[in-house]
């Protein structure tokens, strides 16, 4: 993703009201939750950077004004260790957002640090018009994690670059132009992918999205027909009796909406591509009804298109049961885009596709200066090895399932917790004014809950179109003790919020 993954403009408005008490729920007073923060034996080096106020001044004067800092008093992060972050004063925080779903195996994981340090002592960079060993070792290891004929890698630097390239390849390979994504999807903010992204809060008033169409989002909680999803926790609208042979009946209705886009908006049989996240990330952890994605892939392919799985946030074992999120849908895409956790924070991304599709890029010169350079490849290879050695995917399955079940108790206890969803450690908690209307919780209260959790040492992410979804996508090394601490903080803050 492009570096800012900026919060929506509505959140800028929210920031202006942070110091006002919630009109509905009243102000809260900080006190202690029932479970203590788990211990950590890491001691960060003392902070030696510029003064906090000077950092704030530089932020305002010399950095991109579109960068929005989180929290009433923004954090000045100084050091990180596994699931923990430390600010300039030495205060420790449990990081449940992982640098926007980017830190996979843990902050400054010793194995990854050792791998990149070793490579830096040998060779930082050389162009890929020469041979160097790491890119070849990494490409071979990475493609072995993917099914079918997904065997050719194009290395780039960010998720936006990866999706940008996938759009180009799809159009070249099919000879078609029109691309479909889902409303509420985020696929990047480069000039090309800006059209693919379907959040008006991310759109600038410029020409974008030529040839891109957005289909109705199959959302089991907020969508027209609801649905039953692949999660340990179902929404209050779910009905297991609607599932026959692994397919939820609402999937057929959402597929009808996709079919109408193809029928009315695209020349017959001329789809270039369909993009879908396995679980929507920026959009607030939205999952699809059982069977939807497989039916969507079949429909798109029948109309001339290729299917592209955006695994920028849901890949590398985060969903627990599978290494790639799309595997949980029973599909094999024609292209997979990946980034974020791929490099554990190092700028590294890729498109993996079939030899036939990859061949289209040989019709002209194509090159990426930094994609797959020696340092990036050493990091990526080390991340893959660490995921296996640390049994990270299994940790996501076990700890993530426990986390979801504990959060579901909060949903049952508190009227403003509308939905809890996800798989593994890709979790979301949607906040509402009341469960009947499912109206998004007001911005002031959301910001107060968010800020109060931070003051208690828990860093949560935010997402969803209205910014009313807490995104919980931590480094995948968190423990059950971390979950218990988090749930205790959330229960404490929610209790103060509604009373």
Write down the domain spans for the chain: 9-96+392-498, 112-389
Q: In terms of Cα–Cα distance, which of 486, 473, 470 is closest to 430?
A: 470
CA distances from 116 to 30, 101, 193, 223, 312 (A): 42, 21, 31, 45, 22
* CA atoms 126, 127, 132, 137: torsion sign: positive
Q: Residue 477's pLDDT is what?
A: 98
Q: Residue 4's pLDDT is what?
A: 39
Looking at domain 112-389, its CATH class is alpha beta
- pLDDT, one tens digit for every residue, the chain (499 residues): 333 343 443 343 333 333 333 434 443 445 678 899 999 999 999 999 999 999 999 999 999 888 778 888 999 999 999 999 999 999 999 999 999 999 999 999 999 999 999 999 999 999 888 889 999 999 999 999 999 999 999 999 999 999 999 999 999 999 999 999 999 999 999 999 999 999 999 999 998 899 999 999 999 999 999 999 999 999 999 988 899 999 999 999 999 999 999 999 999 999 999 999 999 999 999 999 999 999 999 999 999 999 999 999 999 999 999 999 999 999 999 999 999 999 999 999 999 999 999 999 998 888 899 999 999 999 999 999 999 999 999 999 999 999 999 999 999 999 999 999 999 999 999 999 999 999 999 999 999 999 999 999 999 999 999 999 999 999 999 999 999 999 999 999 999 999 8
Q: SS3 string of the chain?
A: CCCCCCCCHHHHHHHHCCCCCCCCCCCCCCCCCCCCCCCCCCCCCCCCCCCHHHHHHHHHHHCCCCCCCCCCCCCCEEEEEECEEEECCCCEEEECCHHHHCCCCCECCHHHHHHHHHHHCCCCCCCCCCCCHHHHHHHHHHHCCCCCCCCEEEEECCHHHHHHHHHHHHHHHHCCCEEEEECCCCCCCCCCCCCCCCCHHHCCCCCCCCCEEEECCCCCCCCCCCCCECCCCCCCCCCHHHEECCEEHHHHHHHHHHHHHHHHHCCCCCEEEEEEECCCCCCCCCCCECCHHHHHHHHHHHCCCEEEEECCCCCCCCCCCCCCHHHHHCCCCCEEEECHHHCCCCCCEEEEECHHHHHHHHHCCCCCCCCCCHHHHHHHHHHHHHHHHCCHHHHHHHHHHHHHHHHHHHHHHCCCEEEEEEECCEEEEEEECCCCCCCECCHHHHHHHHHHHHHCCEECEEECCCCCEEEECCCCCCCHHHHHHHHHHHHHHHHHHHC
Topology match between the domains 9-96+392-498 and 112-389: no
Kindly state the tokens that stand for 454. 């931070």
pTM of the model: 0.92
CA distances from 182 to 215, 243, 277, 463 (A): 5, 23, 9, 16
Using the structure block, give the residue that is written with the tokens 């929610």: 494
Is residue 252 within 8 Å of 213, Cβ to Cβ? no
The CATH number of domain 9-96+392-498, selected from 3.30.460.40, 3.40.50.620, 3.20.20.80, 3.90.1150.10: 3.90.1150.10
Cα–Cα distance measured from residue 164 to residue 159, given in angstroms and rounded to the nearest whole number: 8
């Amino acid at each position: 993703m492009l570096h800012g993954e900026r919060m929506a403009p509505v959140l800028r408005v929210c920031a202006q009201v942070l110091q006002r008490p919630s009109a509905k729920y009243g102000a809260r007073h900080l006190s202690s939750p029932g479970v203590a923060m788990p211990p950590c034996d890491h001691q960060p080096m003392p902070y030696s950077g510029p003064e906090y106020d000077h950092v704030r001044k530089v932020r305002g004067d010399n950095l991109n004004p579109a960068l929005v800092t989180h929290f009433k008093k923004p954090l000045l992060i100084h050091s990180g260790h596994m699931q923990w972050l430390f600010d300039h004063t030495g205060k420790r925080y449990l990081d449940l957002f992982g640098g926007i779903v980017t830190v996979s195996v843990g902050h400054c994981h010793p194995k990854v640090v050792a791998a990149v340090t070793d490579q830096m002592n040998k060779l930082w960079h050389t162009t890929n018009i020469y041979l160097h060993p790491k890119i070849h070792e990494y490409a071979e290891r990475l493609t072995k994690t993917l099914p079918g004929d997904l065997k050719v890698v194009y290395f780039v630097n960010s998720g936006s670059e990866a999706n940008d390239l996938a759009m180009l390849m799809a159009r070249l390979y099919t000879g078609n132009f029109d691309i479909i994504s889902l409303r509420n999807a985020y696929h990047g903010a480069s000039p090309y992918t800006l059209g693919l992204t379907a959040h008006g809060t991310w759109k600038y008033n410029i020409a974008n999205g030529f040839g891109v169409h957005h289909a109705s989002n199959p959302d089991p909680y907020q969508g027209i027909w609801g649905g039953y999803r692949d999660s340990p926790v179902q929404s209050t609208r779910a009905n297991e009796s609607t599932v026959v042979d692994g397919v939820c009946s609402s999937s057929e209705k959402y597929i009808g909406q996709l079919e109408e886009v193809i029928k009315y908006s695209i020349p017959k049989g001329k789809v270039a591509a369909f993009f879908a996240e396995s679980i929507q990330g920026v959009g607030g952890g939205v999952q699809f009804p059982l069977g939807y994605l497989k039916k969507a892939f079949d429909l798109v392919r029948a109309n001339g298109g290729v299917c592209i799985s955006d695994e920028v946030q849901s890949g590398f074992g985060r969903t627990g049961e599978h290494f790639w999120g799309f595997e949980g849908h029973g599909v094999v895409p024609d292209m997979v885009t990946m980034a974020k956790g791929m490099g554990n924070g190092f700028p590294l991304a890729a498109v993996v596709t079939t030899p036939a599709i990859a061949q289209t890029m040989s019709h002209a010169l194509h090159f990426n200066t930094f994609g797959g350079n020696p340092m990036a490849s050493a990091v990526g290879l080390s991340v893959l090895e660490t995921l296996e050695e640390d049994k990270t995917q299994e940790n996501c399955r076990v700890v993530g399932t426990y986390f979801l079940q504990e959060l579901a108790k909060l949903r049952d206890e508190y009227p403003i917790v509308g939905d809890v969803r996800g798989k593994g450690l890709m979790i979301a908690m949607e906040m509402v004014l009341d469960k009947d209307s499912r109206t998004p919780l007001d911005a002031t209260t959301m910001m107060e809950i968010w800020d109060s959790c931070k003051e208690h040492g828990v860093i949560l992410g935010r997402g969803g179109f209205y910014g009313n979804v807490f995104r919980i996508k931590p480094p995948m090394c968190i423990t059950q003790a971390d979950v218990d601490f988090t749930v205790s903080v959330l229960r404490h803050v929610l209790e103060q919020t509604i009373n």
